Each structure stands twice: as structure tokens, then as C-alpha cells.
């Protein structure tokens, strides 16, 4: 059975705004492999409070893969696995909501919360926070880096194995009764990803569309595209340049079919935008 610790960082308070993911794989009594990547969330809306915690800014994720791209590589890892997380309810919610946003299926697996484990094994510890437990076990790490946090989570689980005299992490999860099943989920069917994405933007088959585009410094601006009665496409942009000029570089790029700066661009939305602008599609960054 695969045993892997999981940690997410999010761009804002929305659970589908994952901007980083970290994994740490456990085999026997040690961490054998680690994985970390930044993620470009569906919207480049980063709350200052989140940035202050993890230090990730919109410009850092402009060229990062989407969660859908990452899941294509990692999805099979979770099938039947024991997934560790420190405060598992948070990370499981991010995983489920982000997968749902992209219409991705999740396999069945079990989750194991190392906060609950710490409360059971070390009730005398004044704090069960990840940083406090890392200090307790002399683990040096960079907090709120998803890869580092996943590693510490896995290491704390191994400390729990030694403390409880269990054979391994799977044995500890079973004997404590703290492993929780996570049911498999199929992607939503109704309308497909494109229909859901368009419905969320208020078009639903109409001739207008609202979406966000990233400026040169990562600042998101809103674009409204409206098909006129004669079939012409009119664009409005909220960037500062549009206040003083009849056109801006964002609208000019879209008219040339350049969708590289569109926030949260998926193949389905790319196809719709390409048809809407009646121009060649050059793809996402």
C-alpha cells in the first residue's frame, strides 16, 4: 500500500485555489521520495493573508501547471493509498474541491490526520501544530512550503510509529482507528467542463463572456467580450491603460487569438474563446 503525506497551500480562502502541492512518500521506517510543485490556480486572486503565510505571489505561478496537469501525473498515486495530512480535513477539502472544479475523478483511499494522532499519542504536548511538533522532534524545515510540510507530516507519523510500538504507519493508522475512508468520486457529467465553465461566467450559450486575464506583473484584470448585433466583437478591459486609450495590449492580443494570459485557461474554455473571437488559438502559457 502506498503511504504518502500530502500538503496544500492556497491562494485565498477558497478551497479550490491550490497554489502549491507537496508529497512525501513513506516506505517502512523512512521517507524515500519527495515531490513539490507550484500550481497555477483557476484565478490569480491571492489574498494578502495567504501570501504573508506562504510567500507565494501571482507572478510566481504564471508558468506553473494547473492542478489538472499535476493530477494527470499524480492521480494514480492516491488509488487505494493511505494519505497522511496534518489537519487532514483542510487538505482533503482542498483536494476534493479542486478536483471538482476541473471535473476530475478521485480514486478511493484512506486519510490519516497526524494532528489527531498527536492528540492521541502526546496529550501532554502544549501544541499539536506542525511547527511545534517539528521543534519537539528536532526537525529543521521551512514552514508553509508544501513540500517541506509534507515531509514533516510524514516524519511525525514515523515518530508516532516508534512511540506506539507499531510495525509501520499503516499498522498505526489501523490500531488507533484514525484512518478514515475517502470514497471515490466521478467527475460531474451534466453539460461537461466547458458548459460548467461558461455557466459560471454567465454565458450559457449566449454571445458574451466575462473572464480574467493576467497583466505583465501578474495582476488580474477582467475582460468582457460582447458580440454585437452585426456579429462584431467588442471588448472591454479593466486595466489602467483602458482608462486613457481606446485600446490596450490585452484586447489587442485577444483579437490576434493570443489566449496565453487568460487566467484558468483549460482546453474547453480555449476552444470556446477561439470560436468567440473567430481567430487562431495559440494556446495557454
Query: Could you write out the three-class secondary structure of 225-253?
Result: EEECCCCCEEEEECCHHHHCCCCCHHHHH
Q: How far apart are CA 22 and CA 18, in angstroms?
A: 11
User: Which pLDDT value is given to residue 199?
Assistant: 43
The residue extents of the domains of the chain are 3-182, 192-277
User: Which pLDDT value is given to residue 174?
Assistant: 96
User: Which pLDDT value is given to residue 220?
Assistant: 76
What is the percent of the chain with per-residue pLDDT over 90, rounded to a whole number?
61
User: Which pLDDT value is given to residue 253?
Assistant: 81
Task: Report if pTM > 0.75.
Answer: no
Q: Which fold has domain 3-182?
A: Nucleotidyltransferase; domain 5 (3.30.420)
SS3 call for 122: coil
The pLDDT tens digits for 31-62 are 999 999 999 998 888 999 999 999 999 999 99
What is the percent of the chain with per-residue pLDDT over 70, rounded to a whole number?
79
pLDDT at 63 over 80: yes
Direct distance between the N- and C-terminal alpha carbons of the chain, in angstroms, rounded to an integer = 37
Beta partners for residue 4, in sequence order? 25, 83
User: Is the model more confident about 50 or about 214?
Assistant: 50
Q: How far apart are CA 35 and CA 210, in angstroms?
A: 35
User: Is the model more confident about 252 or about 208?
Assistant: 252
pLDDT at 243 over 80: no
User: Which pLDDT value is given to residue 163?
Assistant: 97
The pLDDT tens digits for 179-209 are 999 999 876 544 444 344 434 444 434 445 6
The one-character DSSP state at 65 is P
Name the pairing type of β-strands 109-113 and 18-27: unpaired
User: Which pLDDT value is given to residue 215?
Assistant: 79
User: Is the model more confident about 92 or about 103?
Assistant: 92
The pLDDT tens digits for 139-173 are 999 999 999 999 999 999 999 999 999 999 999 99
**Which residues are CB-contacts of 85 (< 8 A; sequence separation ≥ 6)?**
5, 6, 7, 91, 92, 111, 112, 113, 114, 153
Contact 61, 2 (CB under 8 A): no
User: Is the model more confident about 141 or about 246?
Assistant: 141
Amino acid at each position: 500500500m502506498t503511504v504518502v503525506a500530502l500538503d496544500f497551500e492556497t491562494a485565498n480562502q477558497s478551497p479550490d485555489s491550490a497554489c502549491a502541492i507537496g508529497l512525501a512518500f513513506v516506505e517502512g521506517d523512512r521517507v524515500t521520495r519527495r515531490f513539490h510543485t507550484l500550481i497555477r490556480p483557476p484565478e490569480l486572486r491571492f489574498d494578502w493573508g495567504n501570501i504573508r503565510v506562504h510567500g507565494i505571489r501571482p507572478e510566481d505561478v504564471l508558468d506553473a501547471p494547473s492542478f489538472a496537469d499535476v493530477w494527470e501525473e499524480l492521480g494514480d498515486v492516491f488509488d487505494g493509498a493511505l494519505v497522511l495530512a496534518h489537519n487532514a480535513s483542510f487538505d482533503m477539502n482542498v483536494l476534493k474541491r479542486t478536483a471538482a472544479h476541473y471535473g476530475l475523478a478521485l480514486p478511493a483511499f484512506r486519510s490519516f490526520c497526524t494532528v489527531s494522532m498527536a492528540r492521541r499519542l502526546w496529550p501532554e504536548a502544549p501544541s499539536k501544530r506542525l511547527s511545534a511538533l517539528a521543534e519537539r522532534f528536532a526537525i529543521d524545515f521551512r514552514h508553509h512550503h508544501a513540500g517541506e510540510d509534507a515531509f514533516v507530516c510524514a516524519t511525525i507519523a514515523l515518530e508516532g510509529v516508534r512511540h506506539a510500538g507499531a510495525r509501520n504507519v499503516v499498522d498505526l493508522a489501523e490500531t488507533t482507528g484514525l484512518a478514515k475512508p475517502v470514497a471515490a468520486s466521478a467527475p460531474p457529467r451534466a453539460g461537461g467542463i466547458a458548459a460548467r465553465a461558461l455557466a459560471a461566467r454567465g454565458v450559457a450559450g449566449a454571445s458574451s463572456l466575462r473572464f480574467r486575464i493576467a497583466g505583465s506583473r501578474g495582476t488580474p484584470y477582467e475582460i468582457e467580450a460582447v458580440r454585437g448585433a452585426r456579429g462584431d466583437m467588442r471588448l472591454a478591459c479593466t486595466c489602467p491603460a483602458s482608462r486613457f486609450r481606446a485600446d490596450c495590449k490585452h484586447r489587442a492580443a485577444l483579437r490576434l487569438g493570443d489566449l496565453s494570459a487568460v487566467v484558468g485557461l483549460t482546453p474547453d474554455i480555449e476552444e470556446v474563446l477561439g470560436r468567440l473571437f473567430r481567430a487562431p488559438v495559440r494556446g495557454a502559457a
